[in-house]
Amino acid sequence: MRGPADLTVVGAGFAGLCLAARAVEGGWPAAQVKVIARGLGSFALHPGTIDVAWDPEQLRAVLQGEAASSIWGEDHPYRQLRAGELEQMFTRFAGVMAKAGLPYERCEQPGNFLLPTTLGTAHPAWAAPRSLVAGDLGRPEPVLLVGFDQLPAVKVDWIAAALQRWSEQRRHSGQPAPAAVSAVVLATAPMLAAAGLPLGDLDGAYPQASLSAWGRLWERKAVWQWVSERLPRQPIWRELGENSRILFPLLGWEQTEPARLYLGKALGRPVGELLGGLPSPAGVRLGQALLRLLAQAGVDCDWGRRVEQVSWVPVAREGRWRLHGVVEETGERFDWQTEGLAWAAGWNNPLPLQRGSGAGNLGLAGDPTPGRDAPESGGERWLVQAGESSWRSWRPEWAGSRSGSLLVSVEWAWRRLAASAGFGRGEGVQAGSAAHSLAGAGSPGEGSGDEPGMMTHLEEGAS
């Protein structure tokens, strides 16, 4: 039996961090997994949601494994999907995120959630963090937006007016939408006083707090307590139906779920938050949750390194991938060797494979054919690509599919790694043996890549 190999993931965006977490979840020992990245990926621009297709007909085609007949180009990851497969991939992703304390839900109805944004628009998303789902504008229950006088970044009266018009138009065309969207603005100073914070404590920027400082402020139970006492005293509260939903600008960074649950119980209504802002709070929170999870599991994240060249090094019968690069801060050159390499360096950062190097077992996102251009050294090691660096093309009409496409590419990359490293075939690391490495409980072996259907599919792809 082969011992566990080392796996290096280049890139710390959605694709790289999800792939590292997926590998550990699937049984790869965390101590053998390393992430190398110049810096954190584009989470500040990521909506934090899983957007599969904004158009309902395209979404249906993807979910039913019929994407080949729709707009998706030949190299798009969706073309590889079978009916129901995206749901399975999402279930695994949601399992990992639940362990990170950031539970996700997918839209059970045919179609997307329509999530209210701080721009006063509806963002379609097939899956989203639970804190965002409460505001789904595809539901009829009224919505109250709660703003604060010292948080000008989120102007709830303006947002509510825009969403109210949007809802009226939707209802007019016979589609479900909230019966009413209203807003209330609370004073910030008494909230700070109740939380025992002196004025000026909000990032030094008081009286105009940034969303980032606001998120930190909202980690405090004293703040939730104050809001849950003060809000029902507002005149608008008496006009609200018992079935209304209450949305806040941001329910903290790390304490999102405790805040949501506390306020939901105290106010007796579903509570959530708005999507949006730059940097994107939901995207940043997703990145931070993944990083925390990986750190807890013992995965080493090495920052500030730019990989400039990748080559294949046959060493005796054991091949290695050699990464050459530069430490950005010091300009120092580095040379790193690894058996398994996952390239997830984002858009416009293609794999810098040295000419003449065999791309052994290269698995592009939309290309499940293993062994193409395998090196002649005989040592077959694992090179996969995931995320935006793995698409060969991108078309504007695919907007609204990017995070869903990333999820598929991560699963494909993981399947390629799992199959190559012998997961689920009695070789290499026993599937599920390190499933406990991720924080929290999980059923050992769950999502370990050893499902018969998955392997059959891989082998079909290989033939």
Ligand X SMILES: Cc1cc2nc3c(=O)[nH]c(=O)nc-3n(C[C@H](O)[C@H](O)[C@H](O)COP(=O)(O)OP(=O)(O)OC[C@H]3O[C@@H](n4cnc5c(N)ncnc54)[C@H](O)[C@@H]3O)c2cc1C
By CB under 6 A, name the binding residues for ligand X.
10-16, 36-42, 45-47, 51, 305-307, 344-347, 349, 387-388, 402-403, 406
Helix H segments across 240-382? Answer: 256-267, 281-297
CA distance 62 to 68: 9
DSSP state at residue 353: B
Nearer to ligand X, 410 or 434 (CB): 410
DSSP state at residue 265: H
Return the H-helix or E-strand segment holding 356. none
SS3 for 196?
coil
CA distance 291 to 42: 14
The nearest distance, CB 84 to ligand X, in angstroms, is 21
Nearer to ligand X, 138 or 424 (CB): 138
Chain-centroid distance, C-alpha 367: 22
Peptide bond into 249 cis (omega under 30): no
Which residues partner with 342 through β-bridges? Answer: 9, 384
The nearest distance, CB 113 to ligand X, in angstroms, is 13
Nearer to ligand X, 135 or 270 (CB): 135
CA distance 64 to 79: 11
CA distance 52 to 62: 8
Nearer to ligand X, 13 or 424 (CB): 13
Return the number of other C-beta atoms located less than 10 Å from residue 55's C-beta: 16
The nearest distance, CB 343 to ligand X, in angstroms, is 9
The full length of the chain comes to: 463
The nearest distance, CB 243 to ligand X, in angstroms, is 30
Which residue in 190, 215, 185, 184 sits closest to 202, CA to CA?
215
The nearest distance, CB 334 to ligand X, in angstroms, is 11
Nearer to ligand X, 27 or 400 (CB): 400
Burial 352-375 (b: 16+ CB within 10 A, else e): bbeeebbbbbbbbbbbbebeeeeb
The nearest distance, CB 18 to ligand X, in angstroms, is 8
The nearest distance, CB 454 to ligand X, in angstroms, is 23
Nearer to ligand X, 14 or 93 (CB): 14
Nearer to ligand X, 300 or 446 (CB): 300
Angle CA(275)–CA(17)–CA(454) in degrees, nearest 5?
A: 105
DSSP state at residue 241: -
Return the number of other C-beta atoms located less than 10 Å from residue 460's C-beta: 9
CA distance 384 to 308: 17
Nearer to ligand X, 296 or 349 (CB): 349
The nearest distance, CB 327 to ligand X, in angstroms, is 11
Strands 7-12 and 181-186: unpaired
Q: Is the dihedral of CA 207, 213, 218, 222 positive or negative?
A: negative
Chain-centroid distance, C-alpha 35: 17
Which residue in 218, 284, 202 sits closest to 256, CA to CA?
218
Q: Which residue is nearest to ligand X (CB)?
A: 13
Return the H-helix or E-strand segment holding 92. helix 85-99
The nearest distance, CB 40 to ligand X, in angstroms, is 6
The nearest distance, CB 251 to ligand X, in angstroms, is 20
Nearer to ligand X, 150 or 401 (CB): 401
The nearest distance, CB 115 to ligand X, in angstroms, is 11
Nearer to ligand X, 73 or 422 (CB): 73
Nearer to ligand X, 196 or 331 (CB): 331
